[in-house]
Amino acid sequence: MTAHDTKTEYGTRRLVVDRSVCAGHGLCYSRSPEVVDCDDSGYPVILQDALVLDEHIAAAEEAVAVCPERALTLE
């Protein structure tokens, strides 16, 4: 088995929202519904604890980029 045959937790990323900064604009979940949803009040809810797939990481990066309040970070 080669290294590219499996994915491990090493190298995974996390999308984190700072709810004290978020103003609930909705740009993150409208742009990246694969990784962000919203609660009943319109604030973001992160859908996955760990982002492993490249397309989910790219979606999270886009969500971070569109947030006008800079409430999202990718760790």
- Specify the higher pLDDT residue, 9 or 67: 67
Could you report the per-residue pLDDT of 3-60, keeping only the tens digit for each?
443 344 456 899 999 999 999 999 999 999 999 999 999 999 999 999 999 999 999 9
Q: Which pLDDT score is estimated for 11? A: 64
CATH for 15-74, among 3.30.460.20, 3.30.70.20, 1.10.630.10, 3.90.850.10?
3.30.70.20
| pLDDT of 69 above 80 | yes
Residue 8's pLDDT is 42
pLDDT of residue 12: 85
Distance CA 1, CA 18 (A): 40
pLDDT value at residue 10: 55
Q: Which long-range contacts (CB under 8 A, 24 or more apart) does 41-48 make?
A: 43/17, 43/19, 44/17, 44/71, 44/72, 46/15, 46/16, 46/17, 48/15
